[in-house]
Amino acid sequence: MSNSTDSEIIPRFPPDRCGLALAAGVLGDKWVLMIIRQLFYGVARFEDIRAEIGVPKSVLSARLSSLIEQGIVAKRPYKPEGGRTRYEYLLSRTGFDLAMSLLALLEWGNRHLDLAGAPIGPVRRSDRAKLRVALLDEEGSEVALQDIRLADLSK
């Protein structure tokens, strides 16, 4: 049941105007997220991706084709010595733009799900200081979640 206070805080927008709803259509599959995760880790070759995450070949092929079509992944040929031309898969600029969203999911998973071991997370390269995802305003100041609402950005 809807509560009027909630509708005042979060206005209702049709799914075709909502980036989250549209992104779910592209990324809302376990294998897609696992493939993108591997590409962020630098695993670029089909067989290496397949072996590391255990995805069936047909599923991996279909998901990579879709990610290429969406502009998230780019396909680049390479030829091993004495072998036939093969392809490696790399994140496009659009794919790299997913980094903050995926780090936010990683942070959420670390906080709320049962992990098999110590959590992994982002650190600064220079000093290994732990990092976290935050929302900033245009001046670079952090904004608290309770101060955020969705709005029509065209106005």
Number of domains the chain is built from: 1
| Alpha carbon of residue 126 to chain centroid | 24
Residues 34/105, Cβ–Cβ less than 8 Å? no
Flag whether pLDDT at 3 surpasses 50: no
**Residue 154 forms part of a structural domain:** no
pLDDT band per the 50, 70, 90 thresholds, residue 152: confident
91-129: per-residue pLDDT in tens? 999 999 999 999 999 999 999 998 888 888 999 999 999
pLDDT of residue 11: 64
Q: What is the dihedral of CA 93, 65, 57, 30, to 10 degrees?
A: 60
Instruction: Let me know how long the chain is.
Output: 155
Q: What is the pLDDT of residues 40-92, one digit of tens each?
A: 999 999 999 999 999 999 999 999 999 999 999 999 999 999 999 999 999 99
* 103 located within any domain: yes
Instruction: Output the domain CATH number for residue 120.
Output: 1.10.10.10
Predicted pLDDT of residue 9: 53
> 38: domain range?
4-147
Residue 15 in any domain: the answer is: yes
| CA nearest to 38, candidates 108, 80, 91 | 91
Q: Kindly state whether residue 155 falls inside one of the protein's structural domains.
A: no
With respect to residue 27, please indicate whether it lies within any of the assigned structural domains. yes
In a domain, 153, yes or no: no
